[in-house]
Amino acid sequence: MKEKQEKKQQVLRFIVPREVEEAGKNVRSFLREDHGISRSLLVELKHVKGIRLNGAPTYLDHPLREGDTIELYLPEEESENIIPEPVSFCITYEDEDILVVNKAPNLCVHPTMLYPSRTLANGVVYHWRKQGISRKFRPVNRLDKDTSGLVLIAKSQYSHQQLAAVQRQNGIARYYEALVHGQVEKEEGTIDAPIARKADSLMERIVHESGQWARTHYNVLGRYKEFTHLRLKLDTGRTHQIRVHMSHIGHPLLGDDLYGGEKMLIARQALHARTLTFPHPRHKSDLLFEAPLPEDMSALLSSSQKL
């Protein structure tokens, strides 16, 4: 009989610097003001005695001294309504706080009504369970089912809070590569156009004055006889943003038949999340990840005639 695998509890550890003691801060103010710990997480940890000062349970109003060690024992979590399943996916990077995945095309990030299982979320939860880790699935960015590339996943409530705060301040930079119909006239440009849900569709979006503000920057990487190869950067993260914006200016993505593209050269929208940069949620150092173009886009570039 197999022994039950021991679950690994996640611990956040902070050392108190001299300026914190000089400022007369207590545990609460240090964690809230210096490390961005949310009030809700502190309340949750307080109830389960998950806050320790120099190895012993402590109170939030306890004064701090230079060199004190504060540890937060994050509670175990279960991913709601996500069944662990062995789904293959490519790990670009993983540590105790984050997971970066290079998602293949034709894979949903999260279960939906049309795709209730065999998603990236199912595979990630399964991957963690095998390590004795119990976590909620918290994607920081999401990609459409047929869009390939980098997906950032937070492994705790703390890391998700930190990354969400950075994201609100445009501190997470996302760069994509796309192949679009026709010849884009300018070498670089910006599309600043609001995006709204199309009235008679659950899925399709359109550019409309009633929509949410959306901005996409692009520059040309290469020109081919039948398409243009673009690099794009998002200032906002609206559903289908790149697909809608490129269609709006008359250059839909190859393979994107929802927004006017054709599938003659490639079987899915030719869009890949190539580069992702952001500060690490715990130690704040800048991270940069890149995912090479998938085989279908790479093969099309290699076999096409350049201008």
Neighbour count for residue 113 (Cβ, 10 Å): 6
What is the rounded CA–CA span in Å between residue 96 and residue 249? 43
pLDDT tens by residue, 3-50: 444 456 788 899 999 998 889 999 999 999 888 888 888 988 888 888
Residues sharing a CB contact under 8 Å with residue 2, sequence separation 6 or more, in sequence order: none
Determine what percent of the chain falls in helix, strand and coil, rounding each to the nearest 5.
20, 30, 50
What are the residues facing 94 on neighbouring strands? 99
Confidence of residue 171 (pLDDT cuts 50, 70, 90): very high
The larger pLDDT score, comparing residue 216 to residue 284, is at: 216
Annotated catalytic residue 296: no
Among 279, 211, 262, which residue's Cα sits nearest to residue 239?
211
Region for 72 from its dihedrals, namely left if φ exceeds 0, alpha if ψ lies in -120 to 50, beta otherwise: beta
What is the rounded CA–CA span in Å between residue 152 and residue 163? 10
Helices (H), 48-144: 120-130
Beta pairing class for 98-103 and 56-57:
unpaired
Q: What is the pLDDT of residue 79?
A: 65
Q: Is the pLDDT of residue 1 over 50?
A: no
Q: What is the pLDDT of residue 3?
A: 40
Share of the chain above pLDDT 70, in %: 96
Confidence of residue 226 (pLDDT cuts 50, 70, 90): very high
Four-CA torsion 211, 273, 253, 300, nearest 10 degrees:
180
Residue spans of beta strands (DSSP E) within the chain: 11-15, 51-53, 56-57, 69-73, 90-94, 98-103, 138-139, 148-154, 173-181, 188-192, 195-197, 205-207, 215-223, 227-234, 271-279, 286-290
Q: What is the pLDDT of residue 43?
A: 87
Q: Is the pLDDT of residue 117 over 60?
A: yes
61, 68, 95, 144: the active-site residue? 144
